[in-house]
Chain A
Amino acid sequence: MLEWVRSGDRGREFEETALVHLDVLYRSALRFTHNRAEAEDLVQETCLRAFRGFHRFNPGTNCRAWLLTILRNEFLKRLKRAGHEVLDSDPGDHQKDATSITDDGRTGGHPEEELLQAVLHGDVDRALKALPLLNREVVVLADLEGCSYKEIAQIVDCPIGTVMSRLSRGRAQLRQLLARLGREHGYVKESE
């Protein structure tokens, strides 16, 4: 009934406002899926969804956070479809953070900083991959993409306090994983 023969005004505006964040979407999708083809498919779907819903985006507000929210929701939907239950509530959200400064700082008698020195390229990727999704996403957003707590809270749809506790847990877990990998490399550096 409606024939739309139209130039890409909307498309252009979308490109200028939203597609400038394509790299962030791409990196985040890779961190979510650990698979390039899946990540690209996810980003594509995210962009099309965002474009279709662009009238709901409030100009002047944070477009990156808006896009990342769509990306995340799309990813979670796919996980659900595939039968995963990754986002069952994180028990840690309601507990006091188990990691204290003292046990955080040492690993098996080695000063952890020395072990972190031995972290090789690729270790961070592997360690991040091993983190639970809820902790991984906040670490990725805060430490790799430089998002503020407020942005992260918007993207992952939870209170800032929850962002902080997940970040604290995620970083502690990451530190331990990296230290472990670093310890391995401390002896077998040629392995990577």
Chain B
Amino acid sequence: MNCIEFEARLHPYVDGELAMSEMAAAEAHLAQCVNCRGAVERARRLRQLLRRQPRETAPPEFRAMIRTRIRRSARVAAIRPWLVGTATAAVLLVVTLLPGLRPGPSLVSDLVGKHITYAQIEQPAEFASQDPRTVEAWFRQRAGLRVTVSDYSPSGIRLVGGRLAETDERKAAYVLYEKGHTLMSVFMVPASARGAELSGARVSYRGHDYLTLERRGYNTVAWTDGKAVFGLVSTLDYEALLECADRLRLDRAQRSGA
């Protein structure tokens, strides 16, 4: 390495950003060049001078004001998703079947856990079908369950299929959907026992109340229609989840009315 070549590498050298492969040649040149050693020394002095500059900090009252604004914004802002990474996204409809189950944060956590597990396996649906009626029929024949499977295809959310599963001694049925590569979970609990004791933040959407809760980076929306408790888990944003929830609620009302 000569002086011109070193000069081009002076700043990366001083900043510790020089490629390891060039380091030996740079050191060898420095060992025999007093001018370049001088240049390194000067660059270091300037760096030190700059690093010694007092580092101003944000005034406490300004910091407090920012915190307040963020909290206020968190309360009133349009609901946006907590997308975790670029995770794959399928939509999972989960129906929990054991009567008397008290749904709470632990149930939601279980469902989120299941959801994460299914998101990682290649074929999360035990019974694969894109037709809602076929999946409903499968649940009826397989476990004698009347599960309402909504059609979200107009919103680009594709039905993948259904699955029955055990969650802490509770039997649960899942209906899997996917939107592109994004995941969501919905669950239902027959509300025969102590009623729904869902926790979370209350959200009103199209005249109905829902509870939202974040677990492990996933959004959950839960509600009850008096007979059962439902929930959705996904990395999809809350608006999408609430839209799906509303659709399912309407579909169920229609079925029971029919």
A and B physically associate: yes
* A interface list, Cβ under 8 A from B: 1-11, 14-15, 19, 22-23, 25-27, 30, 40, 43-44, 47-48, 51-52, 54-56, 58-59, 97, 100-102, 104-105, 112-113, 116, 119, 121, 124-125, 139, 142-144, 146, 148-149, 164, 167-168, 171, 174-175, 178
Which of B36, B56, B82, B203 lies in contact with A26, CB distance below 8 A? B56
Indicate if B70 sits at the interface (CB-CB under 8 A): yes
Give Cα distance in the complex from A30 to B39, angstroms: 31
Q: Which residues, 17 to 73 on B, are CB-close (under 8 Å) to A?
A: 17, 35-36, 38-39, 42-43, 45-47, 49-51, 53-58, 62-63, 65-67, 69-71, 73
Query: Is B67 a contact partner of A4 (Cβ separation < 8 A)?
Result: no
Q: How far is the CB of A93 from chain B (nearest CB, A)?
A: 15
A-B contact pairs, 17 of them (CB 8 A): A2-B204, A4-B77, A5-B203, A11-B73, A23-B56, A43-B66, A47-B69, A48-B69, A51-B73, A55-B82, A59-B217, A100-B7, A142-B15, A149-B15, A167-B11, A171-B46, A178-B46
Query: Is A59 a contact partner of B12 (Cβ separation < 8 A)?
Result: no
The residue on A at minimum CB distance from B76 is A4
Q: How far is the CB of B250 from chain A (nearest CB, A)?
A: 16
Judged by DSSP, the binding face of A is helix
Which of A8, A11, A168 lies in contact with B11, CB distance below 8 A? A168
Query: Is A1 a contact partner of B71 (Cβ separation < 8 A)?
Result: no
Give Cα distance in the complex from A72 to B189, angstroms: 50
Query: Is A168 a contact partner of B70 (Cβ separation < 8 A)?
Result: no
Q: How far is the CB of B82 from chain A (nearest CB, A)?
A: 6
Query: Is A23 a contact partner of B10 (Cβ separation < 8 A)?
Result: no
* B interface list, Cβ under 8 A from A: 3, 7-8, 10-12, 15, 17, 35-36, 38-39, 42-43, 45-47, 49-51, 53-58, 62-63, 65-67, 69-71, 73-86, 201-206, 212, 214, 217, 237, 239, 242
Query: Is A55 a contact partner of B205 (Cβ separation < 8 A)?
Result: no
Give Cα distance in the complex from A179 to B30, angstroms: 25
Query: Is B83 a contact partner of A56 (Cβ separation < 8 A)?
Result: yes
Contacts of B69 in A (CB 8 A): 44, 47-48
Query: Is B70 a contact partner of A112 (Cβ separation < 8 A)?
Result: no
The residue on B at minimum CB distance from A46 is B66
CB-CB under 8 A for A101 and B39, given A2-B79, A3-B203, A4-B79: yes
